[in-house]
Amino acid sequence: MSKIKTAFFCSNCGYESAKWLGKCPSCNQWNTFIEEVLDKGNKNEQHNWKNYTETKRQGKTIALSQVSSIEEERIVTADSELNRVLGSGIVPGSIVLVAGEPGIGKSTLFLQSALQLQDVVTLYISGEESEQQIKMRADRLGIVNENFYLLTETSTQVIFQEIKKLKPQLVVVDSVQTLQSNFIESSPGSISQIRECAAEFQRFAKETNTPVFLIGHITKDGNIAGPKILEHMVDTVLQFEGDRNYTYRILRTLKNRFGSTAELGIYEMLSSGMRPVSNPSEILITHKEDQLSGGAIAATMEGLRPLLIEVQALVTPSVYGTPQRTVSGFDLRRLQLLLAVLEKRGGFQFGLKDVFLNIAGGLKVEDPSSDLAIICALLSSYEDVPIPQHICFAGEVGLNGEIRAVNRIEQRIAEAEKLGFEKIVVSRYNQKNRDAVKHLNIEVLALGRVDEVYQLLF
């Protein structure tokens, strides 16, 4: 009998060592090494993909000038948001990792997207659910597809035998943490198993030119479960996120070898599946009859997409000795910085007030161009004077109270004009960019300091 091979893996980053180490040399964490049994088995048993497709892949040296620069034809899905995030479609031979919270809708989204591809032979591999459970979800989605096939299996050897029989054009794996390879003697979900199973699917995708979607889990810290090398092995990493209390879901790109990482897709979760939201600005702005203080509209950018969101602020006298600072969807430290600017440069006594800030719709805003709208919402609640509904804001606020220029101002102004706003307040240092939008029917107010905005509004 051959000797059993063992190795030690860091449970934090996946670093491999031949012996136990107290401190991981890769991530500098202590006592994270665990022993796992390795048994690569017979190399002749590895799957051979040479006769899978008619086109032969040549492994020879070639000059860069001889490589054709023709863009590869992509599989365009019926989901416009997924196409946007992937970079205008699914690239043949690509391997995509999708991660998100449990119950957020990962399986629903990709089952729906696969069912909508009527002309593509799709194999949906599930290691978590039975055929009946997937059938119930498909009936709820109300989509019929004769080219959609199911396989409930966790062994990669059985999966690849079925793939050779069916020869699908798209493979969806739900989820990679449930798979188990016979070449590794450890439990499913362990670091060595995840790495080996992902490597087998990567080899399959590249040698057969078949796109593969791997749905993955995340840890309680919000990181993708498994070794960090898993994110390096795949071509694209997508993060599916959202708040359970809201119906909106956001699909972000963390890594993309075939497109921009600045794109994001927005969905609305309905009983009939995921509905792509083509114009989220209309949904994120509350249409109310009465004018109330403490509300302002910010023209922000999420990736390459302009979004108009509603900022709500409430400023009340502090009952306790220490004033409260409560935020939802915004950085607390950034709010404290803006309050310090108002107190130092404007003379407003926010140190005696409780401040509550909310970004409507459950979104999390990181764009600094929302600073101006947040300051205007705070001042509106402080003075108890409502801001006119036909005005919005786009500008970063500096420590001296100046309004700094922001990028892509033309797209923000065009989005505001499309939604019916009559005025937009921007920085006077965006002069060059504003010349391109003179033809729009919206008045652009260029101001340089926060006190000028205060005089304009109040």
The string of pLDDT tens digits covering residues 164-217 is 989 999 999 988 989 988 877 778 888 888 888 999 999 999 989 999 999 999
Q: What's the mean pLDDT in 330-343?
A: 94
CB contact at 8 A, 115 and 145: yes
How confident is the model at residue 1, as a pLDDT?
Answer: 47
Question: Residue 200 annotated as binding?
Answer: no
Please report the sign of the dihedral spanned by the C-alpha atoms of residue 53, residue 59, residue 62, residue 64: positive
pLDDT band at 226, cuts 50/70/90?
A: confident
Nearest-angstrom CA–CA distance, 224 and 5:
28
Question: Residue 303 annotated as binding?
Answer: no
- Topology classification of domain 283-457: Ribosomal Protein S5; domain 2 (3.30.230)
Tokens of 101: 């919270």
Nearest-angstrom CA–CA distance, 437 and 447:
17
- Topology classification of domain 76-278: Rossmann fold (3.40.50)
pLDDT band at 132, cuts 50/70/90?
A: very high
CB contact at 8 A, 80 and 277: no
pLDDT band at 302, cuts 50/70/90?
A: confident
Nearest-angstrom CA–CA distance, 33 and 108:
36
- What is the DSSP annotation of 40-98? ---GGGS---TTSSSSPPP-----GGGS--PPPPPB--S-HHHHHHHTSSBPTT-EEEE
Nearest-angstrom CA–CA distance, 92 and 276:
23
Question: Residue 103 annotated as binding?
Answer: yes
Question: Residue 22 annotated as binding?
Answer: no
Question: Residue 106 annotated as binding?
Answer: yes
* Residue 181 exposed, middle or buried by CB count within 10 Å (0-12, 13-18, 19+): buried
What is the value of pTM for the model shown? 0.76
- Residue 32 pLDDT > 90, yes or no? no
Nearest-angstrom CA–CA distance, 434 and 447:
13
Mind listing the pLDDT tens digit for each residue in 365-384?
888 999 999 999 999 999 99
Mind listing the pLDDT tens digit for each residue in 420-443?
889 999 998 887 666 666 777 888
Reduce the secondary structure of 99-135 to three states and give it as a string: EECCCCCHHHHHHHHHHHCCCCCEEEEECCCCHHHHH
Question: Residue 375 annotated as binding?
Answer: no
Name the nearest CA neighbour of 75 among 121, 138, 142: 121
Q: What's the mean pLDDT in 242-246?
A: 71
Q: What's the mean pLDDT in 319-341?
A: 91
